[in-house]
Structure 1
Amino acid sequence: MDPVAGLSPLVLAYVGDAVYELLVRTHLVRRGPARLEQLHREAVRFVRAASQARLVPALEAHLTAVEKDILRRGRNARPGHLPRSAVPEEYHFSTALESLFGYLYLKGEWQRLDELTRLIFELAEV
């Protein structure tokens, strides 16, 4: 059995939250010069639970069977509590996305992380 796949989806999301934010920030900086304030606003726009949740359905068509399974497990995970400002459905979908990014990071799937990050930016512009 794959030890990374055996981790709790919430543990994967814990790692994936940091990975996703770092990849978003890196992508924004690589797009070209921008003021720090603008970079921050754009990053927040992408890492908010509502934004992540909107991307998940469109992203699913581009995922492998294993990635879809990780996404499903993350979506079905139930944390002990939700943040006050969280809409439960959005929170579950964002946890799913973060679980996927945590899984890929812990597996060392750097190219796949880059592909999905680029795809997320493409989907967000549509």
Structure 2
Amino acid sequence: MLENVKNQSGLSLAFIGDAVDELFIRRYLLSTGLTKVNQLQRRSKEFVSAKAHAKLFSLMQEENILSADELSIFKRGRNSHPHTKAKNTDAVTYQISTGVEALLGYLYLEDDQERLKEIIGWMIKKVEDGETRE
């Protein structure tokens, strides 16, 4: 992968993390037997929206599942200054989501597939268990 992953900006990590998250979730949703695109799209929002990411991060903190290094990467993404405005959410929620995506992007670029799958699997379980519902 990239040699300078640790030097990537939070937004660069979030850019790839967003795609990684989408791909893992889409694959998961297909594995559940859903076939209609509208259903797939609606369900995917439960997993990859900024609001879902913010709730998931709150649960990550409660359960203390992130290492110090992972938390540092999350903060790099969260504290970055995106040049776009949040859609359908507030700025703080959007920043937290960017941090989650940065963490996923970092793990992907570091080729830490085991940890990436562990965290995304944990996220899927929390959503499916209803722990992210309002």
Say whether residues 1:34 and 2:34 are aligned partners.
yes
CA distance, structure 1, for counterparts of residue 124 and residue 84 of structure 2: 30
Question: Once the 2 structures are TM-superposed, how far is the Cα of residue 66 of structure 1 from its aligned partner?
Answer: 0.8
Question: Once the 2 structures are TM-superposed, how far is the Cα of residue 4 of structure 1 from its aligned partner?
Answer: 0.6
Q: Normalised by the size of structure 1, how large is the TM-score? A: 0.89
Say whether residues 1:117 and 2:120 are aligned partners.
yes
Say whether residues 1:88 and 2:84 are aligned partners.
no
Flag structure 1 segments of 5+ consecutive residues without an equivalent. none
Question: Once the 2 structures are TM-superposed, how far is the Cα of residue 42 of structure 1 from its aligned partner?
Answer: 0.8
1:14-38 deviation per Cα after TM superposition (whole angstroms, max 9, x unaligned): 11110111111112222x3123232
Q: Residues 107 and 122 of structure 1: is their aligned pair in 2 closer, same or farther, counting only changes over 3 Å? A: same
Question: Once the 2 structures are TM-superposed, how far is the Cα of residue 102 of structure 1 from its aligned partner?
Answer: 0.6
CA distance, structure 1, for counterparts of residue 122 and residue 17 of structure 2: 17
CA distance, structure 2, for counterparts of residue 84 and residue 108 of structure 1: 30
CA distance, structure 2, for counterparts of residue 55 and residue 23 of structure 1: 16
Alignment of 1:42-81 (within 5 A): 42-60=43-61, 61-81=64-84
Question: Once the 2 structures are TM-superposed, how far is the Cα of residue 3 of structure 1 from its aligned partner?
Answer: 1.9
The one-letter code sitting in structure 1 at the alignment partner of 2:34 is A
CA distance, structure 2, for counterparts of residue 84 and residue 117 of structure 1: 23
Partner of 2:19: 18
Question: Once the 2 structures are TM-superposed, how far is the Cα of residue 41 of structure 1 from its aligned partner?
Answer: 1.2
Give me the CA root mean square deviation.
1.5
CA distance, structure 2, for counterparts of residue 62 and residue 84 of structure 1: 28
User: How many residues end up aligned between the 2 structures?
Assistant: 124
Q: Normalised by the size of structure 2, how large is the TM-score? A: 0.84
SS at 2:7 equivalent: coil
| Identity rate, percent | 35
